[in-house]
């Protein structure tokens, strides 16, 4: 809004007009990445990705997420207003005697860290644990291998039996993703699935279909099943909540872009009218132009906020 007012110095907007068009700030959700049994009863850890994206039309300026940046600036002793919500459907299986396969990328590791810590607590309490395999996607070991030490400790403590890391930006000219590791480890995956393994998938939306397709390939190849039977096998796992995806993505339809463009054009027409000689209606035209421009901006930015696809 400030940029708009800077770009159109002849426009002014009073606080009431602004409040009429401004949307209230929506809450941002973060997965708990800790376990009360390991990290403490009134403690919740978060694993927050800070993303810098270029501001459209302003070269050299980055937009750093509002909520993630705010969290980043907090210091010990600061107070922050939060509410607690339950992750409906995406929780650790009740029966630890069934194996588990954990597939995640980036900050998708957040809920998995909580699950693994919970397994550690169970192990310390003497609960027998079935095998667990982690397929974790990172960009490179030097850049974003978050919680490397903890993952190694989970493995040393017997909480994780198999660790497979896919580093997407380490090999020039080739992106290595978790789905590639899943196919490579087909025999292991099939053995765990056949033993009743649960599968958890957390990461961004593009990996949803790719990871599912990799599981379908493994079931078809290693279970020697025709493709449609492999598909039915996975569907059964989904219906019985043995295959649990928790994915996020950015919704951005072409229709939203077109709407934003039309609103911007309508606003420009209003400003053109305002610039003509008709003194009496100038204020109304500027106000309407600003409302239209703000609506265009809202269309743009509400369409690229994070949305959950899963469960």
Ligand X SMILES: Cc1cc2nc3c(=O)[nH]c(=O)nc-3n(C[C@H](O)[C@H](O)[C@H](O)COP(=O)(O)OP(=O)(O)OC[C@H]3O[C@@H](n4cnc5c(N)ncnc54)[C@H](O)[C@@H]3O)c2cc1C
Ligand Y SMILES: NC(=O)c1ccc[n+]([C@@H]2O[C@H](COP(=O)([O-])OP(=O)(O)OC[C@H]3O[C@@H](n4cnc5c(N)ncnc54)[C@H](OP(=O)(O)O)[C@@H]3O)[C@@H](O)[C@H]2O)c1
Residue numbers at the binding site for ligand Y (CB under 6 A): 31, 49, 51, 68, 105-108, 110, 137-139, 168-169, 175, 177-179, 203-204, 206-207, 210, 248, 306
Partner whose footprint covers residue 145, from ligand X, ligand Y, none (CB < 5 to 8 Å by kind): none
| 31 touches ligand X (CB under 6 A) | yes
- The 3-class secondary structure across 250-281, one letter per residue, is ECCCHHHHHHHHHHHHHHHHHHHHHHCCCHHH
Q: Which is nearer to ligand Y, 105 or 132 (CB)?
A: 105
Strands (E), 62-170: 62-64, 100-105, 132-138, 162-167
| 222 touches ligand X (CB under 6 A) | no
Q: For residue 248, what is the enclosing H or E element?
A: strand 243-250
Out of 49, 89, 158, 206, the only residue in the binding site for ligand X (CB under 6 A) is 49
Number of residues that bind ligand X (CB under 6 A): 23
Parallel, antiparallel or unpaired: strands 243-250 and 306-310: antiparallel
* Residue 202: CB minimum distance to ligand Y, A: 6
Taking alpha carbons only, the member of 223, 195, 232 closest to residue 95 is 195
Q: Which is nearer to ligand Y, 44 or 96 (CB)?
A: 44
Question: Helix axis angle, 227-239 relative to 206-222, nearest 10°?
Answer: 120
Q: Which is nearer to ligand X, 39 or 191 (CB)?
A: 39
Report residue 249: phi and psi, to 5°.
Answer: -165, 180
* Residue 302: CB minimum distance to ligand X, A: 9
Taking alpha carbons only, the member of 195, 139, 190, 142 closest to residue 169 is 139
Partner whose footprint covers residue 105, from ligand Y, ligand X, none (CB < 5 to 8 Å by kind): ligand Y
Binding mask 237-256 for ligand X (x = CB under 6 A): -----------x--------
| 67 touches ligand X (CB under 6 A) | yes
Calpha distance 116→100 (Å, rounded): 10
CB under 8 Å to 182, separation ≥6 — which residues? 103, 135, 189, 211, 214, 215, 218
Partner whose footprint covers residue 209, from ligand X, ligand Y, none (CB < 5 to 8 Å by kind): none
Q: Give contact residues for ligand X (rule: CB under 6 A).
A: 28-31, 47-49, 51, 53, 55, 63, 65-68, 107, 110, 248, 301, 304-306, 308
């Amino acid at each position: 809004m400030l940029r708009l007012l800077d770009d159109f110095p002849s426009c002014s907007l009073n606080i009431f007009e602004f409040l009429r068009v401004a949307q209230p700030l929506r809450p941002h959700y973060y997965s708990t990445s800790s376990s009360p049994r390991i990290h403490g009863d009134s403690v919740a850890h978060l694993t927050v990705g800070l993303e810098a994206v270029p501001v459209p039309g302003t070269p050299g300026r980055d937009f750093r997420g509002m909520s993630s940046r705010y969290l980043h600036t907090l210091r010990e002793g600061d107070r922050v207003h939060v509410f607690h919500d339950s992750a409906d459907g995406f929780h650790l299986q009740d029966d630890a005697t069934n194996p588990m396969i954990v597939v995640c990328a980036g900050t998708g590791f957040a809920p998995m860290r909580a699950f693994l810590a919970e397994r550690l607590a169970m192990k310390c309490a003497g609960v027998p644990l079935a095998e667990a395999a982690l397929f974790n996607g990172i960009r490179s070991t030097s850049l974003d291998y978050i919680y490397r030490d903890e993952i190694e400790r989970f493995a040393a403590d017997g909480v994780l039996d198999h660790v497979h890391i896919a580093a997407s930006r380490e090999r020039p000219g080739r992106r290595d993703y978790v789905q590639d590791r899943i196919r490579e480890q087909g025999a292991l995956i099939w053995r765990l699935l056949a033993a009743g393994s649960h599968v958890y998938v957390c990461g961004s939306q593009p990996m949803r279909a790719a990871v599912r397709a990799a599981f379908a390939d493994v079931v078809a190849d290693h279970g020697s099943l025709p493709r449609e039977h492999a598909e039915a096998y996975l569907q059964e796992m989904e219906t019985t909540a043995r295959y649990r995806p928790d994915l996020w993505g950015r919704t951005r339809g072409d229709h939203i872009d077109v709407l934003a463009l039309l609103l911007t054009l309508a606003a420009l027409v209003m400003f053109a009218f305002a610039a003509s000689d008709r003194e009496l209606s100038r204020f109304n035209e500027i106000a309407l132009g600003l409302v239209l421009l703000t609506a265009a901006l809202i269309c743009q930015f509400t369409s690229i906020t994070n949305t959950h696809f899963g469960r």
